[in-house]
Chain A
Amino acid sequence: MDNEACASVEKELDRVVTKLEQLHENSAAEIGDIASLMSELVNVLGNAEQMVVTTLNTGTQINATNTSSTDDPMGDGINMQVETEPSAPQRLTDRQMEIIREAISKCNERVQKLSTEHRELHGSVSKIGKAIDRNYSSDFSSTMRVDALQDEDNLMLLNKAIAKHYCRQGMDEVARTLIKECKMSDDHAQDVFDSEREFAEIYSIWNQIQKRELGDALDWAVRHSSQLLERHSLIEFRLHRMRFMQLVSYGLKSQNEAILYARTNFQKFAVRYEHEIANLMASFIYLPGGLENTPYKIFLSQDMWTELSFTFLKDACQLLGISKNSALSVVVNAGCTALPALLNIKQVMQSRQVLGMWNGCDELPIEIDLQPEFRFHSIFACPILRQQTTEDNPPKKLTCGHVISNDALHKLSNGHILKCPYCPVEQNAEEAVRIYF
């Protein structure tokens, strides 16, 4: 669906680009053509004038014939025969006038054509705009009931979250500029710089991997080797593997270095990655010719490095017990998932004229399907009433182990007797216990 939306705009855009390029080329050629014709005519006329002046001075009659008439773009040579009458100023002959008329009308025609053709592009250009409006929604603000960000204090807190986010990514300057520009108070600012220190090292290593530098990453992995092993993390071996392939890819000159590297670093992985190591060592066959056209070329691709940096970030954060995403990015990404869903439901509610329900309760109207990693709290929804439980309506465990909400329990029980809705057990409703997730 995304692709469709992009594709339809792209189609219109490409159409305009092609037309513009064509027009660009044509106009350059056509106008250039007519312009050079004109200047040639001017030259010829000038020459003729010169001749006349000369003839007047010398008193000799001369037929001023244009020499360059053969490559005249008009095709039919301009024969500038100037009939001179020594006493009177020079006038144009009929032939000359005809040629000039022709040139002028051609010139008018062409410049008009340029203007018209350019104007005709208007339709195509505005089609781009229509395609954008048709495929993209311009109004997302309606999904908000209250705007919490009208409030000055809240805006400052948001600035703080932004500053923290960039601080975490090692862009301290951005955070500092923001703090200065939004006039954040000192204790807020201090808080920003204190909070995200732990992540900074991981982030800078992550950045280096993306730039294909492995030094710090390998250091880090060796330092945390035993912890990584405990977690069955593959990252240490992958880093070594990448470094090795990097050396191999340098060709023959680093052959010895590569072998030495394999010897020092692959030994401790010999059991787990026996097959893989054998595979890697076989790359020496291709060393003289380079890896471009071999099964190993995948190690040269950017994808491989992106993957490596991503795995590193994930494993390292897991090991340190910190979140790999900043609060801000989690919130914004969750919001970007939520907004389209909210827009959809809003449209449906509008068409069914039940928009009043939107404002009715203190909950979003629909469940937002977030990735599991964005789930931080247990939510128990009563399977009978299809409602989230609250302090007033807490979850209760029946003696058989099934859990329902307190309200459902009261609705289902007959006096003190309750039959579990999920199994045949009959029990005393009083015996259900409040539980906490």
Chain B
Amino acid sequence: MSEIKALEHATLKVPYEILNKRFRSAQKIIDREVDQVTNVSRQVEKALDDDQPPMLSDVSKLMGNVAQKLQVLKRKADESITDELSVTQICKRKLEHLKGIMPQSRSSGEVCQGSVDQWKRIRLDRLVIEHLLRMGYYETAEELASRSDVRHLTNLDIFQTSREVEDDLANHSTTKCVLWCIDNKSKLRKINSTIEFSLRVQEFIELVRQNQRYEAVKHSRRYFPAYEKTQLDEICHVMALLAYPADTQLEHCKKYMDPKRWEQLVLDFRHENYRLFQLSSTSVFSAAVQAGLSALKTPQCYSQTCRNLNCPVCQEDLNRIALKLPYSHCVQSRLICRVTGLPLNEHNQPMMLPNGQIYGQQALRKITKEDGTTTCPVTNVKFTKPKIEKVFIM
């Protein structure tokens, strides 16, 4: 499996879902306008089918209606299809970007390396932006997207909507989230989402909290029956709130009255939003960071003497994150000289000082002074004309 295939599902799937949504709403709009046209045209036909030939002025008026509706249909169809086409352009741009990981074969060497590096830089920005959005750091994401000019490759727009909903929920209001539910009704039903029910429950709770119990009952009558098949138990529990004061100490009531429930709603909403766009619950970024840390993690990263400042896992912060992650796996030895950072192989043979420390030939030349003394850089032990032995690594 290649990197693109493994990691870029969401990059394409999100704009696809948007396209699909636009398609369905376009179909709805077109159908509605077509109905309008056929309705008025039927009136004309009806008038014509009368026993007596119809009045000139009546028909003229009816025909005027038809012409008008046709114009509306034409405009709306034009708008909707243009809309759909613009979403396909978004998909297209993302595809073009993904294709960039394979630079054209004509370029070679450093040019090629340069453009792959550039591509990876953009990918990193994309992944970071997605992570920031998921963490709710919208401003940073926005700023980064505009600074590094990758906005067209991200899913900022769908998160922008969710930001508004989240802010609204954080202010203890369900309005925007309910609108969002209505907007995505069919899709939410398909994935068996209960988010709308949770919102209705929250509204009920708020009415109880404000002691508007009559209103609460009305609210429950209006919204709860739709969920009686699936959520009956919970409905009963919630309705029980009516019987107790708002500051009740009863355990199962308290959990509903807790204002923290709003925070939970924000998280629930986020989760449902991911499911809606088929985003996985963890971001590619966090999966990549952890897989990367694992792939780089060696026991040396955790020993005081062997740290390498260029190694990310040896750096304090990442070191701590990687603590619980698995180590990399290795069946073939790969040795790197701790002085020069160069690989140890037939061109730079590994040599052993009397204390068992291994360095490359080139490094030994560096650490051996003209008077023949050699200082081991790791243990700081000084040797005079030491016996240096060759080591063979299979």
Take A146-B324, A171-B147, A377-B336 as given contacts and tell me if A91 and B295 are in contact as well, using a CB distance cutoff of 8 Å: no
Residue A277 at the B interface, CB < 8 A?
no
Residue B216 at the A interface, CB < 8 A?
no
Residue B284 at the A interface, CB < 8 A?
yes
- A338-357 near B? 1/0 per residue, CB < 8 Å: 11111110000000000000
Residue A39 at the B interface, CB < 8 A?
yes
B391–A397 touching, CB < 8 Å: yes
Q: Interface majority SS on A: helix, strand, loop or mixed?
A: helix
Q: Within 8 Å CB of B315, what residues of A?
A: 327
Give residues 136-151 of B contacting A (CB, 8 Å): 137-140, 143-144, 147-148
Question: Which one of A9-17, A54-62, A288-296 is at the B interface?
Answer: A9-17
Q: Among the listed A112, A115, A391, A435, which residue makes an inter-chain contact with B358, where contact means beta carbons less than 8 Å apart? A: A435
Residue A323 at the B interface, CB < 8 A?
yes
Residue B248 at the A interface, CB < 8 A?
no
B residues contacting the other copy or chain, number (CB 8 A): 146
Min CB gap B279→A, angstroms: 9
Take A377-B301, A435-B357 as given contacts and tell me if A340 and B1 are in contact as well, using a CB distance cutoff of 8 Å: yes
Q: Within 8 Å CB of B3, what residues of A?
A: 2, 336-337, 339-340
Q: Within 8 Å CB of B63, what residues of A?
A: 38, 41-42, 45, 100
Residue B98 at the A interface, CB < 8 A?
yes
A residues contacting the other copy or chain, number (CB 8 A): 147
Q: Within 8 Å CB of A28, what residues of B?
A: 74, 77-78
A141–B287 touching, CB < 8 Å: yes
Residue A300 at the B interface, CB < 8 A?
no
Take A115-B30, A154-B320 as given contacts and tell me if A20 and B12 are in contact as well, using a CB distance cutoff of 8 Å: no
Tell me the complex Cα distance, A403–B317, Å.
Answer: 35
A20–B88 touching, CB < 8 Å: yes
Q: Within 8 Å CB of A24, what residues of B?
A: 78, 81-82, 85
**Which A residues have a C-beta under 8 Å from some C-beta of B?**
1-3, 5-6, 9-10, 13, 16-17, 20-21, 23-24, 27-28, 31-32, 34-35, 38-39, 41-42, 45-46, 48-49, 52, 82, 89-94, 97, 100-101, 104, 107-108, 111-112, 114-115, 118-119, 121-122, 125-126, 128-129, 132-133, 135-141, 143-149, 153-155, 157-158, 160-162, 165-166, 171, 173-174, 177-178, 181-182, 303-304, 306-307, 309-311, 323, 327-344, 361-368, 370, 372, 374-381, 383, 386, 388, 390-391, 397, 400-403, 422, 433-437
Please list 23 pairs of residues, one from A and one from B, whose beta carbons are closer than 8 Å in the complex, sorted by A's number: A13-B88, A17-B85, A92-B54, A97-B48, A97-B53, A114-B34, A125-B23, A136-B12, A147-B290, A157-B320, A165-B128, A177-B139, A304-B111, A330-B296, A333-B124, A335-B287, A363-B329, A364-B327, A370-B295, A375-B343, A378-B338, A386-B331, A397-B389
